[in-house]
Structure formats: C-alpha cells, structure tokens
Amino acid sequence: MVRFALFGAGFIGQVHGANIATNPRTKLQFVYDVNPAAAEQLASRYGAKIATNPDEVWAAGDVDAVLIASSTNTHADLLSGAIKARKPVYCEKPIDLNLERVRQVVQEAHNNPVPIMMGFSRRFDPNHRGLREAVQGGEIGIVEMMHFVCRSSQPPPLSYIKVSGGQFRDQTIHMFDLLCWIANDAPVEVYACGASMIDPAITAAGDVDTSMLILKMPSGALCHIDNSRHTGYGYDERIEVFGSTGMVESKRKPTREVALYTGAKVVADGLHPGWFERMEPSFMLAVDAFASSLEGKAADYPTLIDGLRAQMIAEAAIESLHANKPVKINYWTPK
C-alpha cells in the first residue's frame, strides 16, 4: 500500500484526498494546508494525521509519496522539498508561473531523480486514450490536422484568474499536453489570438477568456485549439485528428448516452454542467496509475518533463498573443 501525504485541502485537494482514501491500494497518511482548520477537517474525514509544516512530511518514515494540490505559488518549493527528501511526487500543474523557477526545479529533479507525475489527468480519460491508440496504431494514416476544443461552462472566480497565470497556463495547458501525447511529438511554432468576450474584468486582470491557436508540428501537420471560459450549454471538450487515410474523434460527452426519437425531433441529454463533472473519473485513474508505478507495475503517466514542455508551449503562446505574430517554440532540457 502506498501511503500519501497530501498538500492542499482546497477543492482539488479534497478530490485527491477522497480518491487516495477510497483506493484499496493507497492510504491518506498526512494532510497539510496553510489553513489548519481545512487540513483538520479533511484529515479527520479519512483518519489521516495533520502535518503542521512540510518538514514534518519530509522527515516522516511512514510517507511513501506526496501529492501536491496546494496553490500554484507553492508547487516549486514543495517539489524541491520532495526531491531532497527522496519522496515520489504527484503534482498538479503548473510547476510554477516563473519559467526560470521551473527550470531550477526540473534541473534539481534531473540531478536527483525521483518519480514525478504531473496532474494532466485528461490523459486518463478513456475517450482520449482511445483516440491516441488509434493515432499511434496508424489507423488514420499520417496525421495532417488536429483540432482541440476546450470550452468551460463558466469562468472561474476573478480572484483565481488573477493568480492562475492566464488562460494559456491554466486552461489551454491541458490541450498542449494532450497534443504532445497524442502526436508523440511537440509543436515547433504557435500563433495565438485572444479576446475578452465575457467579462471586461478579465481584460483588466491582464487575461483573455476566448482564444484560438494554430500550432505547427515538425512534420508540417497543423493543430487548431479553441478555448472559451463560457458556454450556454455545459462543458464542451472534444478532439479530432484528421489523417491521410481516416479520421478519429473523442466526442463531446453528454451526461448520458440517451436520445429520444419522437415525431420529427430527436431529444438528447445535454453536456456535463462543468469541467469537473466531465473529468472526475480521470482523477481517480491518474492516482491509481501513479500508485501502480510506485509498486513496480508498468504505468504510463505525464512526467515533470512533460509538464515543462507544456508550459514552454504556453509561454510561447503568451508571447505570440502579445506580439500578434507566430512565435517559434524554444524547448529547454536539463543538463
């Protein structure tokens, strides 16, 4: 059994805490949060202990791995602490909003390797995995175009937007990771356009809520990503990959696969109300895959290098947005 210490008792921390506690192969051992009351509430729910500071976790002999679900500005320091303590890590994205700090942590992990998984849980969605298998299996021939849609049902609170790093680092970064994972390659150029169509306060916060991006792959294949922070019909996420001999898609996913045919109408169930309701099962599958890998079983998961790559694409996209022109993506690797 893999014993986890959890950093962060907010919304995502509670999701991970429940998944760790209810998985028969994992145990929630410690919870730490800067809000002791939140940590105590979550820990008591699942019979875990409360850590009064991160050092207590690093020194704990009964902690096999840590899961970082705290605020973004804590990720890099906690990753660094886990690396020094030789504790495997599952870390929510992004690594840090400062790219230089990201490089420092990645270099530290390169010099002192421990298993590190980034929280790109969409890789574990069965629909997306099926699409990737078809692409990698050559079932649609040579990839020529890819199309990603990521439209949230409503914007997050403005207080969150102000510290999120912006739409590309927060929302689109999941699509950047999926693109690289599905294509088994990384784009070389990005052109991004964006606007604030929903709330002028988002513009005032220095962000956009509506965007389109074109990315060019080394093969010449093109990828289009469209994002919105708002829909009037539920959470909309889908992927289409067009190849030389066919096409594969991971479709919109309604709450149920039920349609009523009556007269001249077809009445079908709508989409999930939000991104979490659509993606909730993938969080459990992601933690389970990480636990499997720590038990020595074969398990594919997004690594720290994958997190670095997705973030470097995001940084280039932000540069393109501000410069209003295509930008070459320069990837950095640890020495």
What CATH number is associated with residue 85? 3.40.50.720
| DSSP states of 307-334 | HHHHHHHHHHHHHHHHHTS-EE------
Handedness of CA 262, 265, 269, 273 (dihedral sign): negative
- Domain match, 103 and 74 both: yes
CA distance 112 to 158: 38
CA distance 103 to 231: 36
pLDDT digits (tens), the chain, 335 positions: 999 999 999 999 999 999 999 999 999 999 999 999 999 999 999 999 999 999 999 999 999 999 999 999 999 999 999 999 999 999 999 999 999 999 999 999 999 999 999 999 999 999 999 999 999 999 999 999 999 999 999 999 999 999 999 999 999 999 999 999 999 999 999 999 999 999 899 999 999 999 999 999 999 999 999 999 999 999 999 999 999 999 999 999 999 999 999 999 999 999 999 999 999 999 999 999 999 999 999 889 999 999 999 999 999 999 999 999 999 999 999 99
- Domain match, 97 and 231 both: no
* Residue 56 lies in domain: 2-114
Q: How many domains does the chain have?
A: 2
- Domain match, 12 and 136 both: no
- Domain match, 46 and 80 both: yes
pTM for the structure as a whole: 0.95
- Domain match, 70 and 157 both: no
In a domain, 185, yes or no: yes
